Amino acid sequence: MTTHTHAYKDPVLTLNGVSMSFNNELVLRDINAQILDITRPKMHQGQVVGFYGRSGIGKSVLCRIMAGLIPPSAGTVEVGLAQQPARPGMVGFVQQRYPLFDHRTLYDNLLVAAERKHAPEVARQHVESYLERFCLAPHHKKYPAHLSGGQRQRAAIAQQLLCSEHLILLDEPFSGLDVAMIDEVKRIIVEVTTMDELNTVIIVSHDIVTTTALADRLWLLGYEHDAAGALVPGATISPQHQYNLAEMGLAWHENVEAEPEFGQFVEHIKNEIRVSA
Amino acid sequence: MKTLFAPNAQPPRLLFTTMVAGQVALLLLVWLFYPMQLFPSLGEVFRSLGDLITTQGLIQELWASMTTALQALAIATVLALGISYLTALPFFRPIAYAASKMRYLTLTGLTFFMALMVSSGHQVKLSVLIFGATVYLVTGMTSVILTTTQEEMDHARTLGMGEWRSFWEVVVLGKLDEMLEVVRQNFAIIWTMITLVETLYQSEGGIGLLLYKQNRYLHLDGVLAIQLVILATGAAQDYVFVLLRRVFFPYSSLGTA
């Protein structure tokens, strides 16, 4: 277990007392979390943070709130160095099934995103650079239906990166993938976070091992019990369920899954989940 | 051979073509040799077809009906697209709902009102066809729009597109190929209506009037010949629509099984 030298700077995303109800049913309750810009000497080090939660706990709702697609019933979401209220388009959001515009070629899919942020000529240059970086250049004339699962994932991530302000949210990025594909997604995430100091990847997942292996911070969504032992409605993040993996010496390791401390930590998380269920 | 009877099988192209040719040949043979008194023979139908072309101007009548049908279809498509796309605004949703339900109205009752509103017979014919086609097209088009998922709209929104831009990208551009398919499927409705409308307004002729006359004088061979011409025209139109879809929306068939 090695702790790499690092420091924290300004916040890039803040969840402040976020609660969400649907038809008077509380789904999320008083969620507080802050993602800070992390720095490491002599390198670009973006952030990878994980929100872990069991299936059906409200992770996708939390994603939509963080992406600015729905306002929370209570609380605020502030994004960027200026900490502005989240609006659609400020946070790139890659949904579970990696949607792309099926009526546009891969090149056009990326261009339509890049043109949201850049002038047409600059947008084209950005698209060409991203096609190269994400190993998609040979497929630029293909329609999404012709892309493989991995190519589609890379394209969806590239599309969101081209027009978002450094923040990208991945909803269940490892769901239903085989080992090779998971490695591919992990490689892309690491690549994205080293592209720019401010790039931040937020993983919302129920895959505890892969999420923990990539993240430098982890928040665990779960239920709390009241004094009588009854379940309090609405998933939340308890203070004891916020983990700074960078300070625990579990972040930025090449093969962290093989380290005994990692295994112990994952076991601890699993126990916490069992207790809060 | 087994693949022809296996569910979801993809038989080789040659085998499939041979099967279709065999089925057509069998149908013709049955028609040639089946001793049914009522049903005209193949030879009689062909003779009647020749007679209809040479002496009764079948081709000209077909052309007249087809131009009217295409004119009605073009106007109805524009109207239906407009009404369907306006369902994005809650204010216009009742209009689309009402338009869709109007397909239950009978044309015979409608023509009277149309005759009061417009001046010429052609205008009555055209307006009835436009009305009839529009209500069917609105039904199909709104159901296409309703297939839009939250995921699709969210995807556009996360790219920083506003609500109208997202609607343009996902619903208008993204579903144009499906709208063309709705138009193709509903073109047949116009052919059903045109034969009826042409018998009500006989001044301009048309294939519907020709069919009506053949029916009236019990020329079954003539009736069958005209029906076959309409069938062939419809099949050709279908093919043109499929071709248009392939040319303008090449992505359209990529995801189908």
8-state DSSP, B169: I
- Measured CA to CA in angstroms, residue A187 lies from A217, A219, B77, B84 at distances of 18, 22, 49, 45
Instruction: Indicate the pLDDT class of residue B21, thresholds 50, 70 and 90.
Output: very high
Which phi and psi angles does A213 have, rounded to 5°? -65, -30
Compare all CA atoms of chain A with the CA of B173 and give the residue at the minimum distance.
A103
CB atoms within 10 A of CB A273: 18
Q: What confidence score (pLDDT) does residue A202 get?
A: 94
The interface residues of chain B toward chain A in range 150-169, judged by CB-CB distance below 8 A, are 151-152, 154-155, 157-161, 169
- Per-residue pLDDT tens for B158-212? 999 999 999 999 999 999 999 999 999 988 888 888 888 888 777 778 888 899 8
The confidence score (pLDDT) of residue B197 equals 84
Instruction: Give the tens place of pLDDT for each residue, B25-74.
Output: 998 888 888 766 677 888 888 999 999 999 988 999 999 999 999 999 99
Domain ranges of chain A: 7-91+165-276, 105-163
What's the pLDDT score for residue B161? 93
Question: For residue range A218-256, what is the model confidence (pLDDT) as tens digits?
Answer: 999 999 888 888 889 999 999 889 999 888 888 888 888
Nearest neighbour of A89 by CB, restricted to B152, B157, B255: B157
How much is the pLDDT for A1?
63
* pLDDT number for residue B116: 78
Low-confidence spans in chain A with pLDDT less than 70? 1-2, 276-277
Q: A163 to chain B: which residues are within 8 Å by CB?
A: 159-160
* DSSP of A15-76: EEEEEEEETTEEEEEEEEEEEEEEEBTTB---EEEEEE--TTSSHHHHHHHHTTSS--SEEE
pLDDT the model gives residue B119: 75
Fold entry, domain A7-91+165-276: Rossmann fold (3.40.50)
Mean pLDDT on B2-26: 89
| Residue B145, domain member (yes or no) | yes
Which of B151, B158, B161 lies closest to A92 in CB terms? Answer: B158
Can you tell me the distance from the alpha carbon of A3 to that of B74, in angstroms, rounded to the nearest whole number?
Answer: 70
Of B159, B176, B249, the CB nearest to A113: B159
* B234 occurs within a structural domain: yes
- A-B contacts at Cβ under 8 angstroms: 62
Written as six digits, the tokens of A176 are 């239903």
Pick from A90, A95, A145: CB nearest B154: A95
Chain A 73-92, residues with CB within 8 Å of chain B CB atoms: 88-92
CATH of the domain at B107: 1.10.3720.10
Contact (CB, 8 A) for B160 and A116: yes
Contact A163 B249 (CB under 8 A): no
Residue B9 placed within a domain: no
- Average pLDDT of chain B is 88
| Helix/strand/coil (H/E/C) assignment for every residue in B127-161 | HHHHHHHHHHHHHHHHHHHHCCCHHHHHHHHHCCC
The predicted structure's pLDDT at residue B66 = 92
Number of domains in chain B: 1
Q: Is residue B193 part of a domain?
A: yes
What pLDDT shows up at residue B35?
A: 66
Which chain B residue is nearest to residue A94, measuring alpha carbons? B155
CB A53 within 8 A of CB A222: yes
Q: What is the pLDDT of residue A91?
A: 92
Residue B25 falls inside a structural domain: no
Q: State what percent of residues in chain B have pLDDT above 90.
A: 53
> Does residue B256 belong to the interface with chain A, where contact is any CB pair within 8 Å?
no
pLDDT recorded at residue B36 = 66
Closest CA to A237 of A44, A9, A98, A75: A75
Residue B19 lies in a domain: no
Question: CA Rg, chain B, in Å?
Answer: 22
Containing structural domain, residue B129: 42-248
CA distance B146 to B148: 5
Q: How far is the first Cα of chain A from the last one, in angstroms, to the nearest whole number?
A: 30
Residue B152 clears pLDDT 80, i.e. is over it: yes
Single out the residue of A66, A115, A133, A57 nearest to residue A94, CA to CA: A66
Q: Does B10 touch chain A (CB under 8 A)?
A: no
Nearest chain B residue to A96, by CA: B151
Q: What is the pLDDT of residue A277?
A: 63
B257 pLDDT above the threshold of 70: no
- Residue partners of B97: CB distance under 8 A and separation at least 6: none
Q: Which residue has the higher pLDDT, B223 or A180?
A: B223
pLDDT of residue A15: 95
Any CB–CB contact under 8 A between A50 and chain B? Answer: no
